[in-house]
Amino acid sequence: MLEVKVEFLLKELARKLFLDKNVSLEDLARITGLSVEFIKTTLEGLGVRTENNIVTEELPWLIIKSWMSNYDIASLALSSGWSTFEELCSRIAELNGFQVHRNYRFSLGGKRHEIDVLAYRENMLLAIDCKLWKRAPRSALKRAAQAQLARTSSLAKILSSGTPFPWRLANPTYIFPLVTNLYDTGAIIEEGVLIVGLREFKNILDNASYLALVDIGCKPLRIEPPGLS
């Protein structure tokens, strides 16, 4: 019964945060019928920030913290208006200082490609494939990694040729192909491609650097955009 109450509370809080950044515990009490004391104790237990009885946590972190406490992130995301998993991954990257571009489409050799999320910071460009999987066999993860490596290799070719791009890239820039999903896979490397569950995705972005990614086995593609020195 307690878990049902907590999940109901989190869903309503997620909906409110999507519409209004200023959500008071009193508002939540009126909406849910739960006591302010219960709401405050529950949120503190989840590590959700409040100040003067106002929720100060940003929506993506609410979703992450809820999920890390075993409350269903997919239903939370949908109930709060997050229509796609890509939106959530993008917001996590932005909160870690990355510039983000979603659904980047390009063509090479007559073939069209799309990368779910591009995240750029300093001399690192993360090419992220977002899989809304809760479970996946190792063989499926390997196929996803191979496909993302192929897309990223094509991206490297067009960027090296001077194709217009959302950002002015450093010279050189290192492109890291990455696959993330809801399944808590930890960090897996397949053919130099990093595969991570959402929990580990957040942790890696917290401390992402060229050396940190290479140290865990990632193999970046180096590009030197023309016209830059």
Check residue 66 and give its pLDDT. Answer: 85
Domain 2-82, CATH among 1.20.58, 3.30.310, 1.10.238, 1.10.1790? 1.10.238
> What residue segments make up the domains of the chain, in order of their start?
2-82, 86-223
Check residue 14 and give its pLDDT. Answer: 87
What would the pLDDT profile of 73-119 be if each residue is shown by its tens digit? 666 666 666 667 788 889 889 988 999 999 999 999 889 999 999 99
Q: Is residue 67 over pLDDT 90? A: no
Domain 86-223, CATH among 1.10.150.530, 3.40.309.10, 3.30.300.10, 3.40.1350.10? 3.40.1350.10
Average pLDDT, the chain: 88
Hey, what long-range contacts does 140-145 have (CB within 8 A, 24 or more apart)? 141/179, 141/185, 141/188, 141/190, 141/195, 142/190, 142/191, 144/179, 144/195, 145/177, 145/179, 145/190, 145/191, 145/193, 145/195
pTM value is: 0.79
Check residue 109 and give its pLDDT. Answer: 87
Q: Is residue 229 over pLDDT 60? A: no
